[in-house]
Amino acid sequence: QASQEELKAAYRRLCMLYHPDKHRDPELKTQAERLFNLVHQAYEVLSDPQTRAIYDIYGRRGLEMEGWEVVERKRTAAEIREEFERLQREREERRLQQRTNPKGTISVGIDATDLFDRYDEEYEDVPGSSFPQIEINKMHISQSIEAPLTSTDTAILSGNLSTQNGNGGGSINLALRRVTSAKGWGELEFGAGDLHGPLFGLKIFRNLTPRCFITTNCALQFSSRGVRPGLTTVLARNLDKNTMGYLQWRWGIQSAMNTSIVRDTKTSHFTVAMQLGIPHSFVMVSYQHKFQDEDQTRVKGSLKAGFFGTIVEYGAERKISRHSVLGATVSVGVPQGVSLKIKLNRASQTYFFPVHLTDQLLPSAVFYATVGPLVIYFAMHRLVIKPYLRAQKERELEKQRESTASDILQKKQEAEAAVRLMQESVRRIIEAEEARMGLIIVNAWYGKFVNDNSRKNEKVKVIDVTVPLQCLVKDSKLILTEASKAGLPGFYDPCVGEEKSLKVLYQFRGVLHQVMSADNEALRIPKQSHRIDADG
């Protein structure tokens, strides 16, 4: 965002610093010529609006591309950016032609009631009866893929297989979706299965106002008992910035009316719902708290009461890797009993394991369903997940260091040469600042600092940048913008891929000051808040 005047001022200052004629030593003169040429090349690129726009969009490789000579010189930077964005959209459309969006769910139901509710007296003489019998009593697998046909049309193919206690079946569905306008879309669905006959459905979505939309789903299910029609309509409205209200009416096999209010904020998710229907009517309240930590931890609880009984659920979920979220929920209900539900989301795939522990409300089942997953998780996290993620991060950093080793070495040599060339200018700046009791950089370090005791085994990686920072002082002020400081004259990256900071100890009006700034954080000194208390 630098203006042409700021570019010219920086160019003149660096030219005066690196001009070969200002250095008599042959070695310094050679280093000055190389840096002077780099500064001149950079100014040639940034002073021309066209090449500057190309560099902003494509980087250094864009300047090496052929064909820019056919671009009209009169085109502005904004026009070049618009052209680039248009090409990006076309490339994205072509990519959509070949891309699918796979989504899948695998659910494995486990019956573990024998752990807490055994018939010991009847089966104590049966061989092997001393061990609890845990069995898989149901499974469900579903998968769907999307295939963009045009920029507005998409085909969706999905299928599922289910089995429970030895009986099972499956179905396959094909849906064609068309985006009719910016306000809505329609979807036509065809399906067939071995448990049910053919299915024909139509789904329509429409934005009524900027804050309100409606969805309608019509279906005809053919079976040996005849045709079963169904209709579901959902009306939704934004009540405020974070709150949605829903009104649903369902007619068909299980007719019902449902109304719900959902409030979703940065730290919480709250839902209250009520349904009147056949055969189920209920009231439900749920709350989820979102912790603002690195692992995106969430704790949730819900209460649901109706004609079928009452269910209380509580649980938590946490991010265990870049693409994986692990969650566990305990369900306690009458007459449902106690169950533990474990869910793993891996990218677009979901793995679900509901474990039924007992048909009765046994305190022991509730205790083990609550404490067991916590103990297993923390043990696995400490002994397996954490070491694996640490090793993976180290491998990625090592790979990044190897790929940038030659470039970093060159940057280091340029930075060291720049520091040697700055010595004379820095001496004059210090003399001028001392004369006016101005800003003197006593010490400055840039890189990775380790202040946390939990990271005491990590190695500190910093470089001395006292001279480069003093060279940037003008009129007793030092101003650094929001950008990585590794690109400043006399700087380089001492620890690629790791968090870096700048620590500065400076003197202003004869008083010591100290500040630590993050790598991409703007910095302006001197400031009264940086002053070191003499009494401390």
pLDDT in tens, 472-487: 888 899 988 888 888 8
86, 89, 145, 178, 224 from 94: Cα distances, Å: 13, 9, 18, 18, 45
| Residue 121 forms part of a structural domain | no
User: Which runs of consecutive H residues, i.e. helices, occur in 166-244?
Assistant: none
| Residue 494 forms part of a structural domain | yes
Q: In the listed set 90, 109, 141, which residue is the last one of a domain according to the structure? A: 90
| Owner of token pair 């600042």 | 433
Question: Is 469 in contact with 517 (CB distance < 8 Å)?
Answer: no
Domains in the chain: how many in total? 2
Strand partners for 206 = 184, 214
Bond prior to 526 in cis (omega within 30° of 0):
yes
SS3 255: coil
122 band by pLDDT with thresholds 50, 70 and 90: low
Mean pLDDT computed over every residue of the chain: 84
Output the six-digit token pair for 446: 């840039």
Q: In the listed set 49, 68, 90, which residue is the last one of a domain according to the structure? A: 90
For the stretch 503-534, what's the b/e string if a residue is b when 16 or more beta carbons lie within 10 angstroms of its beta carbon? Answer: bbbbbbeeeebebebebeeebebbeeebeeee
Distance of CA 283 to the CA centre of its chain: 34
Domain holding 33: CATH number? Answer: 1.10.287
Q: Is the pTM of this model over 0.85?
A: no
CA nearest to 506, candidates 485, 522, 524, 483: 524
**Cβ-based neighbours of 221, under 8 Å, separated by 6 or more:** 196, 197, 199, 227, 228, 229, 230
Task: Specify the higher pLDDT residue, 223 or 190.
Answer: 190
Q: What are phi and psi of 426, to 5 degrees?
A: -65, -40
Output the six-digit token pair for 63: 């300047």
Beta strands in 82-152 (DSSP E): 103-111, 135-148
| Residue 452 forms part of a structural domain | yes
| Residue 9 forms part of a structural domain | yes
133 pLDDT higher than 90: no
Question: Is 430 in contact with 484 (CB distance < 8 Å)?
Answer: no
Domain holding 38, by residue range, is: 4-90
Cβ of 207: how many Cβ atoms within 10 Å? 13
70 pLDDT higher than 60: no
Q: What pLDDT, on the 0 to 100 scale, is given for residue 395?
A: 85
Q: Using CA atoms, how far apart are residues 78 and 81, in angstroms rounded to an integer?
A: 5
Average the pLDDT over 167-180 and give the result. Answer: 92
Provide the residue type at 220 as one letter.
L
Encode pLDDT of 230-283 as tens digits.
999 999 999 999 999 999 999 987 889 999 999 999 999 999 999 998 878 999
| Residue 495 forms part of a structural domain | yes
Q: Using CA atoms, how far apart are residues 360 and 331, in angstroms rounded to an integer?
A: 12
* Percent of the chain at pLDDT exceeding 70: 87
Is the C-alpha dihedral spanning 464, 468, 470, 476 positive or negative?
negative
* Least confident residue range of 89-93, 101-105, 131-135, 223-227: 89-93
DSSP 219-235: EEEEETTEEEEEEEEEE
| Residue 426 forms part of a structural domain | yes
Q: What pLDDT, on the 0 to 100 scale, is given for residue 356?
A: 93
* Least confident residue range of 125-134, 135-144, 415-424: 125-134
Q: Using CA atoms, how far apart are residues 289 and 297, in angstroms rounded to an integer?
A: 9
72 band by pLDDT with thresholds 50, 70 and 90: very low
Q: What pLDDT, on the 0 to 100 scale, is given for residue 366?
A: 92
| Owner of token pair 């299980």 | 254
454 pLDDT higher than 70: no
Question: Is 359 in contact with 352 (CB distance < 8 Å)?
Answer: no
**Cβ-based neighbours of 340, under 8 Å, separated by 6 or more:** 328, 329, 330, 331, 354, 355, 357, 369, 372, 373
Q: What are phi and psi of 372, to 5 degrees?
A: -55, -55
Bond prior to 229 in cis (omega within 30° of 0):
no
Strand partners for 138 = 109, 164
Distance of CA 483 to the CA centre of its chain: 22
Cβ of 125: how many Cβ atoms within 10 Å? 7
121, 345, 402 from 302: Cα distances, Å: 38, 21, 51
Strand partners for 271 = 262, 286
| Owner of token pair 């790598």 | 519
The secondary element (H helix, E strand) that includes residue 140 is strand 135-148
Task: Specify the higher pLDDT residue, 397 or 430.
Answer: 430
| Residue 23 forms part of a structural domain | yes
Strand partners for 480 = 523
Task: Specify the higher pLDDT residue, 298 or 60.
Answer: 298
Provide the residue type at 229 as one letter.
P
Encode pLDDT of 19-44 as tens digits.
888 777 777 788 888 888 888 888 88
Question: Is 515 in contact with 530 (CB distance < 8 Å)?
Answer: yes
Half-sphere exposure of 82 (CA within 13 A, CB side): 5
Q: What pLDDT, on the 0 to 100 scale, is given for residue 51?
A: 78
Q: In the listed set 72, 90, 108, which residue is the last one of a domain according to the structure? A: 90
520 band by pLDDT with thresholds 50, 70 and 90: confident
Q: What pLDDT, on the 0 to 100 scale, is given for residue 284?
A: 96
| Residue 13 forms part of a structural domain | yes
Question: Is 196 in contact with 228 (CB distance < 8 Å)?
Answer: no
Crossing angle of helices 49-58/77-98, nearest 10°?
Answer: 30
